[in-house]
Amino acid sequence: MRFFLLLLVMILLPKNLKSQEITKQDLARIDSAKALINRIGGVYSENLSEYCSQITTWGGPYASCYADRGKKGTIYLTEVDIKYGDVENIAAAIVHESMHLKFFHEDNHPDEEEKICYEYELEFLLKVPNVDPWLLDNAHKMIIFYSK
């Protein structure tokens, strides 16, 4: 289902799916988020390394990703998240999307995929020192939303 949704978005919004030009400041934020993920380590850095070949931005309203089965994929972060988001928020989006990439890689899309990805994101956030409570609250709300 997620594949077909992404395909539909790709057809309807081709200009938005193209990677946007990334500034040095944007790259620094992405690198800082990746460094945070690597400091937390464990499955979060392993999944990112194993399933993601590229992180870029796009003009869409939310972070997304795409990969062909069995191949590493690309994570698309929103331009808004990169420009105005803090490092923890960017890292949370990367962790979340890396779980989606794992599902793409394995060609396995469980019915509760989005809920599983938010649970994975929440587990990561709980390990981040001094994390913004809003990020935890948002992940909890999304888990409840996708549990319905």
Residue 49 predicted with pLDDT over 70: yes
Residue 3 predicted with pLDDT over 80: no
pLDDT in tens, 66-124: 998 889 999 999 999 898 879 999 999 999 999 999 999 988 888 999 999 999 999 99
Q: What's the fold here for domain 23-147? A: Zincin-like (3.30.2010)
pTM beyond 0.95, yes or no: no
Q: In this predicted structure, what is the pLDDT of residue 19?
A: 53
**Pairing relationship of beta strands 73-78 and 52-58 according to DSSP bridges:** parallel
Mean per-residue pLDDT, 55-73: 93
The residue with tokens 């289902």 is 1
Give the percent of the chain with pLDDT over 90: 71
For the chain, which residues make up each domain, given as ranges? Answer: 23-147
CA pair distance 147, 142, nearest whole angstrom: 8
Residue 147 predicted with pLDDT over 50: yes
DSSP state of 129: T
Residue type at 60 in one-letter notation: G
Backbone angles phi and psi of 67, in degrees to 5? -155, 150
